[in-house]
Copies of this chain bind each other. A is one copy, B any other.
Amino acid sequence: MTAIKETSTIQENKQYALEKCPVTYVMEKIGGYWKPIIIYHLSSGPLRYSELKRAIPAVTEKMLIQHLKQLEADNLVIREAKPVVPPFVTYSLSASGNGLLPIIEAMATWAFKDKEDGFNIS
Protein backbone atom coordinates (compact mmCIF):
# COMPACT_ATOMS: atom_id res chain seq x y z
CA MET A 1 0.00 0.00 0.00
CA THR A 2 1.05 3.52 -0.63
CA ALA A 3 3.54 4.60 1.95
CA ILE A 4 2.29 7.54 3.93
CA LYS A 5 4.46 10.45 4.76
CA GLU A 6 4.05 11.07 8.45
CA THR A 7 4.85 14.75 8.25
CA SER A 8 2.01 15.93 6.07
CA THR A 9 -0.79 18.22 7.14
CA ILE A 10 -3.09 16.11 5.07
CA GLN A 11 -2.50 13.22 7.43
CA GLU A 12 -2.76 15.46 10.47
CA ASN A 13 -6.07 16.76 9.24
CA LYS A 14 -7.22 13.28 8.44
CA GLN A 15 -6.49 12.37 12.03
CA TYR A 16 -8.47 15.37 13.21
CA ALA A 17 -11.36 14.47 10.94
CA LEU A 18 -11.23 10.83 11.95
CA GLU A 19 -11.60 11.71 15.58
CA LYS A 20 -14.14 14.44 15.08
CA CYS A 21 -16.21 12.86 12.38
CA PRO A 22 -17.75 9.43 12.04
CA VAL A 23 -18.40 10.07 8.38
CA THR A 24 -14.69 10.38 7.77
CA TYR A 25 -14.18 7.20 9.74
CA VAL A 26 -16.62 5.39 7.47
CA MET A 27 -15.06 7.01 4.40
CA GLU A 28 -11.68 5.67 5.39
CA LYS A 29 -13.15 2.20 5.23
CA ILE A 30 -15.35 2.34 2.17
CA GLY A 31 -14.06 5.48 0.48
CA GLY A 32 -12.09 3.89 -2.34
CA TYR A 33 -13.58 4.10 -5.82
CA TRP A 34 -14.32 0.40 -5.93
CA LYS A 35 -14.90 -0.53 -2.33
CA PRO A 36 -18.63 0.16 -2.25
CA ILE A 37 -19.04 -1.69 -5.52
CA ILE A 38 -17.12 -4.65 -4.18
CA ILE A 39 -19.23 -4.63 -1.03
CA TYR A 40 -22.37 -4.44 -3.12
CA HIS A 41 -21.34 -7.44 -5.17
CA LEU A 42 -20.49 -9.41 -2.04
CA SER A 43 -23.78 -8.51 -0.40
CA SER A 44 -25.54 -11.32 -2.26
CA GLY A 45 -23.03 -13.93 -1.20
CA PRO A 46 -19.37 -14.93 -1.26
CA LEU A 47 -17.45 -14.69 -4.51
CA ARG A 48 -14.14 -15.91 -5.79
CA TYR A 49 -11.50 -13.39 -6.75
CA SER A 50 -11.93 -14.12 -10.42
CA GLU A 51 -15.70 -13.89 -10.13
CA LEU A 52 -15.38 -10.43 -8.65
CA LYS A 53 -13.00 -9.49 -11.42
CA ARG A 54 -15.49 -10.55 -14.04
CA ALA A 55 -18.37 -8.91 -12.17
CA ILE A 56 -16.58 -5.56 -12.22
CA PRO A 57 -14.81 -5.47 -15.58
CA ALA A 58 -13.71 -1.86 -15.29
CA VAL A 59 -11.53 -2.40 -12.26
CA THR A 60 -7.90 -3.34 -12.68
CA GLU A 61 -6.44 -6.30 -10.85
CA LYS A 62 -4.18 -4.07 -8.81
CA MET A 63 -7.05 -1.94 -7.57
CA LEU A 64 -9.26 -4.94 -6.90
CA ILE A 65 -6.69 -6.77 -4.85
CA GLN A 66 -5.58 -3.58 -3.09
CA HIS A 67 -9.10 -2.74 -2.01
CA LEU A 68 -9.80 -6.32 -1.04
CA LYS A 69 -6.72 -6.33 1.16
CA GLN A 70 -7.77 -3.08 2.79
CA LEU A 71 -11.29 -4.32 3.33
CA GLU A 72 -9.85 -7.48 4.85
CA ALA A 73 -7.52 -5.48 7.08
CA ASP A 74 -10.52 -3.44 8.22
CA ASN A 75 -12.45 -6.61 8.97
CA LEU A 76 -15.16 -5.83 6.48
CA VAL A 77 -14.56 -8.82 4.27
CA ILE A 78 -13.27 -12.28 5.05
CA ARG A 79 -10.79 -14.01 2.80
CA GLU A 80 -10.75 -17.77 2.67
CA ALA A 81 -8.11 -19.57 0.68
CA LYS A 82 -7.99 -23.26 -0.05
CA PRO A 83 -4.45 -24.54 -0.33
CA VAL A 84 -4.98 -26.11 -3.69
CA VAL A 85 -3.61 -25.40 -7.06
CA PRO A 86 -4.95 -23.61 -8.99
CA PRO A 87 -5.71 -21.33 -6.03
CA PHE A 88 -9.26 -21.14 -4.74
CA VAL A 89 -9.95 -17.94 -2.80
CA THR A 90 -13.34 -16.63 -1.78
CA TYR A 91 -14.28 -13.30 -0.32
CA SER A 92 -17.35 -12.67 1.78
CA LEU A 93 -18.74 -9.91 3.97
CA SER A 94 -17.99 -10.02 7.67
CA ALA A 95 -20.59 -9.12 10.29
CA SER A 96 -19.17 -5.62 10.34
CA GLY A 97 -19.32 -5.45 6.58
CA ASN A 98 -22.91 -6.55 6.64
CA GLY A 99 -23.60 -3.75 9.08
CA LEU A 100 -22.76 -1.29 6.36
CA LEU A 101 -25.56 -2.43 4.10
CA PRO A 102 -28.28 -0.36 5.80
CA ILE A 103 -26.07 2.71 5.47
CA ILE A 104 -25.51 1.99 1.80
CA GLU A 105 -29.23 1.53 1.38
CA ALA A 106 -29.92 4.83 3.11
CA MET A 107 -27.44 6.46 0.77
CA ALA A 108 -29.13 4.88 -2.21
CA THR A 109 -32.49 6.21 -1.09
CA TRP A 110 -31.11 9.70 -0.60
CA ALA A 111 -29.19 9.60 -3.88
CA PHE A 112 -32.28 8.54 -5.76
CA LYS A 113 -34.40 11.28 -4.25
CA ASP A 114 -31.66 13.86 -4.72
CA LYS A 115 -31.32 13.01 -8.39
CA GLU A 116 -35.08 13.34 -8.83
CA ASP A 117 -35.52 16.64 -7.02
CA GLY A 118 -32.38 18.08 -8.41
CA PHE A 119 -33.62 19.03 -11.81
CA ASN A 120 -32.47 22.47 -10.82
CA ILE A 121 -29.55 23.36 -13.01
CA SER A 122 -28.20 26.32 -11.15
Contacts and interface: CB of A to CB of B under 8 A. Distances in A.
Interface of A: 12-14, 16-17, 20-27, 29-31, 33-34, 36-37, 40, 58-59, 73-75, 96, 99-100, 102-104, 106-108, 110-115, 117-118, 120, 122
Contacts of A120: 75
Contacts of A75: 118, 120, 122
A27 B30 CA distance: 10
How many copies altogether? 2
B99 A22 contact: no
A20 B37 contact: yes
Given A16-B58, A40-B21, A107 B26 contact: yes
A108 B13 contact: no
A122 to B, nearest CB: 7
Nearest to A118: B75
B103 A99 contact: no
Given A58-B13, A107-B103, A118-B96, A31 B27 contact: yes
Contact of A23 (B20, B22, B73, B107): B107
Contacts of A31: 27, 31
